[in-house]
């Protein structure tokens, strides 16, 4: 497989990576607001063609113009151009391009049916049917919404950090421990409860139970341990962008 340079423009950071096959050989990130100015440095990392996606519309025109000016071959993953991925979701334009990349990567790695759980600022589920392709998903609060909200809205509750998480606890003997139990047991419990609905939907479609892949925050830290029955793929979005480009060029 040829080397690909991928760029994933998120709300706060734009991640770039070089992939050889499905292996990330180099990677980095820049603030989204400076991705256009940083583009020459990113392009200097590799002479490979570029595959990219964005969930930040104000950046798109300037980044497209900069890529055009670079004379480097580039492909943008969108709902109108998602090679090999059928989309039967009624409003495909509402689906984040990173979610489409996740779905394409999952197809390539494990096939369909498959469900991807991507935990970041929000927790998103991408649901891919064997018969119908991308059929929809779920959007729930991310873990930080739980920890930050409690601290911001209740004067007596401290800010929790990753170091405060104690997955083995069942009952807290301090405020931080009590909050830790709520997060480390409650959050994975929410994930599994949402998955039950996904399993029921696949059964109603007459399909097998989907493979579940974890990415984003779920692919590392205490959540990885708490959800260890599922396969973790931390580079799923990057793999999907590379795979989409390979499919596009045939």
Neighbour count for residue 61 (Cβ, 10 Å): 10
How far apart CA 63 and CA 69 sit, in angstroms, is 10
pLDDT band at 217 (very low <50, low <70, confident <90, very high): confident
Q: Please give the DSSP secondary-structure letter assigned to residue 215.
A: E
How far apart CA 145 and CA 213 sit, in angstroms, is 22
Q: Could you tell me how many residues make up the chain? A: 250
Question: Please, what sign has the CA dihedral across residues 145, 162, 115, 21?
Answer: positive
Quote the pLDDT of residue 143. 86
Architecture of domain 87-236: 2-Layer Sandwich (3.30)
Q: Which residue among the candidates 8, 98, 118, 235 is catalytic per the annotation?
A: 98
Secondary-structure class of domain 1-76 per CATH: alpha beta
Predicted structure pTM score = 0.91
Sheet order of strands, 23-31 included: 23-31, 13-20, 3-9, 50-54, 74-76
> What number is the average pLDDT over the span 167-196?
93
Of residues 128, 52, 123, the one with CA closest to residue 87: 128
Quote the pLDDT of residue 101. 98
Summarised one tens digit per residue, pLDDT across range 27-73 is 999 999 999 999 999 999 999 999 999 999 999 999 999 999 998 99
Concerning whether 98 is annotated as a catalytic residue, the answer is: yes
Q: Is the peptide bond before 113 cis (omega within 30 degrees of 0)?
A: yes
For the chain, the domains span 1-76, 87-236
């Amino acid at each position: 497989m040829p080397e690909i340079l991928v760029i994933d423009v998120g709300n706060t950071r734009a991640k770039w990576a070089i992939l050889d096959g499905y292996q990330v050989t180099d990677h980095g990130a820049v603030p989204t607001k400076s991705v256009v100015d940083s583009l020459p440095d990113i392009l200097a990392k590799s002479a490979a063609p570029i595959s990219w996606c964005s969930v930040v519309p104000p950046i798109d025109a300037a980044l497209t113009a900069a890529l055009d000016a670079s004379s480097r071959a580039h492909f943008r993953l969108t709902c109108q151009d998602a090679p090999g991925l059928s989309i039967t979701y009624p409003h495909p334009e509402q689906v984040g391009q990173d979610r489409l990349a996740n779905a394409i990567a999952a197809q390539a790695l494990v096939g369909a049916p498959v469900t991807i759980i991507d935990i970041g600022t929000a927790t998103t589920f991408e649901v891919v049917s064997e018969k119908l392709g991308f059929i929809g998903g779920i959007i729930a609060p991310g873990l930080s919404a739980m920890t930050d909200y409690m601290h911001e809205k209740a004067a007596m509750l401290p800010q929790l950090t990753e170091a405060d998480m104690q997955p083995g606890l069942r009952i807290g003997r301090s405020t931080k421990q009590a909050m830790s139990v709520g997060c480390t047991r409650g959050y994975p419990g929410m994930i599994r409860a949402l998955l039950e609905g996904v399993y029921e939907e696949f059964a109603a479609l007459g399909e097998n139970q989907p493979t579940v892949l974890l990415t984003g925050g779920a692919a590392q830290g205490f959540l990885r341990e708490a959800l260890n029955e599922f396969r973790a793929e931390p580079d799923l979005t990057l793999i999907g962008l590379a795979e989409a480009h390979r499919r596009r060029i045939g």
